[in-house]
Amino acid sequence: MTTVDEAPATTGLHQVTPGQHQARPTTHLPLLSKPPAGDEVRVRAGAGRAHVLSLTGSALGGLGMGLLLTVGLGLIPVGWLFIVSYLWFLLLYTALVHLRQPGPAVRNGLVTVLLSSAGAAVAGTLGLVVMFTFARGQEALFHLNFFTTDMTGAGPLSGLDQGGVLHALVGTLEQIGIALAITIPLGLTTAVFLNEVGGRFARMVRTVVEAMTALPSVVAGLFIYAAVVMSITHQTNGLAASLAITVLMLPIMIRSSDVVLRLVPGNLREAGLALGAGQWRVVWHIVLPTVRSGLTTGIILATAHGIGETAPVLLTSGFTGVMNVNPFSGPQTPLPLAALDYVRSPVPGMVARGFATAAFLLFVVLVLFIIARIIGGQDAGKQTEAQARRAAARSRRDLPRIERNHARLLAGMATAPTDNLQEKP
């Protein structure tokens, strides 16, 4: 037994007085004690006032110098106003930051501004494209017949209250549907082969897939035109366009699936194999459900990539203004080809229909990318609230069966020793 010195000592959360015996040594945890209120330091995230003023002043100064050199003095053409203003903005911002901060802070601020400017440029360009397309096609978009009729009986000089793109919408849906029916099983199977089998042949397949990612779309159209249209069908149709789209969608599908399958932890596979499951049973019941959200994102991204292709369908689908629901016979026009043909017309009404078709196609692609972003935000193996509720409901349904099996097992274990004793002579 250990005695304690005369001076009081603190161990853990208890006070040990003189003469009191310590029954068991404890660990002192200084981090459990709360620091005094005066030692707290408040940290505010975000840009400070000086930084905001530096950005604002540099932006105004750069714009002023750009206007002076282009509009005022005429030394530089007006078309270079944005570039000249931006360069002066970077110069003034670097000088202002250098007056208050050391060299590393200047470099950090300059790189941050450059990266933020690149993101803003991309977002601004996309916004301008969307607004311009919708603005040029708004006259046709506000007519209901644009979405419910085809171009039967409507000529180039007909008003916008006649004709529509229903035939192109049906053609796009059928062609993408056929392409997905080929791409999804073939792409998933190839991705599983690359990750679960491997070997020299898998390395060659991965190289071919990466090379196909950079394949020009017109080459895919020419290949299907020579191999299918000229050799088999002898006419353009929706099936040939679907095959051309499939050639372009397959690399996207395989690469995205390959990436998400690599994220599956190896201990999940090892646990399934240790429990007695075969390799392909582990893949089907453990690996694929774990990355279900990533695979869904890959499917949507491949769909969005294939639905907007114009060059391959230009060579394989043909053009018609009437409804054709049979993709195996006759021309079948998709939305990208309809938009291209309408925009090339010299008639303002047809041009408005072309931009309206492009706006509708752009809207569909943006919706697909938003869905892919929402689904892809879920981590691999992490359940959403709805998935957790469904799993809990399945567990409640399985609980009576598990209890019955457990009771039957206990009853068998209770009767087994008695039976063994009765059988002995």
Q: Where do we find the tokens 């062609």?
A: 175
Please give the DSSP secondary-structure letter assigned to residue 379.
Answer: P
Determine how many CB atoms are found less than 10 A away from the CB of residue 10.
Answer: 11
Under 8 Å between Cβ of 313 and 331: no
Residue 245's nearest CA partner among 323, 332, 178 is 178
| pLDDT of res. 254 | 92
In the three-class reduction of DSSP (H, G, I as helix; E, B as strand; rest coil), residue 419 is classed as helix
Structure tokens that stand for 402 in this block: 């598990």
Cα–Cα dist 16/21, whole Å: 8
Which stretches of 263-384 are DSSP H helices?
Answer: 266-274, 279-282, 288-290, 292-307, 311-316, 335-343, 348-376
Provide the CB-side half-sphere exposure for 246 (13 A, CA). 22
For the beta carbon of residue 293, count every other beta carbon within 10 angstroms.
21
Q: How far apart are CA 171 and CA 77, in angstroms?
A: 47
Q: How many CA atoms lie within 13 A of 354 on its CB side?
A: 15
| Amino acid 184: pLDDT | 92
Residue 302, judged by CB atoms within 10 A of its CB (0-12, 13-18, 19+), counts as buried
Helix (H, G, I), strand (E, B) or coil at 9: strand
Reading the chain (425 residues) residue by residue, the pLDDT tens digits are 444 444 444 444 444 445 455 555 555 555 444 555 555 545 455 567 887 888 888 999 999 999 998 888 888 888 898 999 999 999 999 998 888 888 888 888 889 899 999 999 999 998 898 899 999 988 888 888 888 888 887 877 888 888 888 999 999 999 999 999 999 999 999 999 998 887 888 888 888 888 888 888 899 999 999 999 998 888 899 999 999 999 999 999 999 999 889 888 888 888 888 888 888 888 888 888 888 888 888 888 888 888 888 889 988 998 888 898 998 988 999 999 999 889 988 888 889 999 999 998 888 888 887 877 777 655 555 666 777 788 788 888 888 888 888 888 888 887 765 545 454 44
Say what the alpha-carbon torsion angle 327, 328, 331, 333 is, to the nearest 10 degrees: 20
Helix ranges (H only) for 68-102 are 81-100
DSSP H or E run through 164? none
3-state secondary structure of 216: coil
- For the residues of 14-38, what is the DSSP string, one character each? EEEPTT---SS-----GGGSPPPGG
Residue 178 confidence (pLDDT): 93
Give the residue among 191, 371, 216, 367 at the shortest CA–CA distance from 287. Answer: 191
User: Domain limits of the chain?
Assistant: 50-141, 166-380
CB 365, CB 146: distance < 8 Å: no
What DSSP designation does 74 have?
-
In this structure, the number of other CB atoms found within 10 A of the CB of residue 126 comes to 12
CATH topology of domain 166-380: MetI-like fold (1.10.3720)
Supply the DSSP symbol for 80.
G
Q: How far is CA 54 from CA 67, 90, 109, in A?
A: 20, 11, 11
Residue 57 to residues 54, 66, 83, 90, Cα–Cα distance (Å): 5, 14, 17, 11
Task: For 13-47, give one letter per residue: b (16+ CB within 10 A) or e.
Answer: eeebeeeeeeeeeeeeeeeeeeeeeeeeeeeeeee
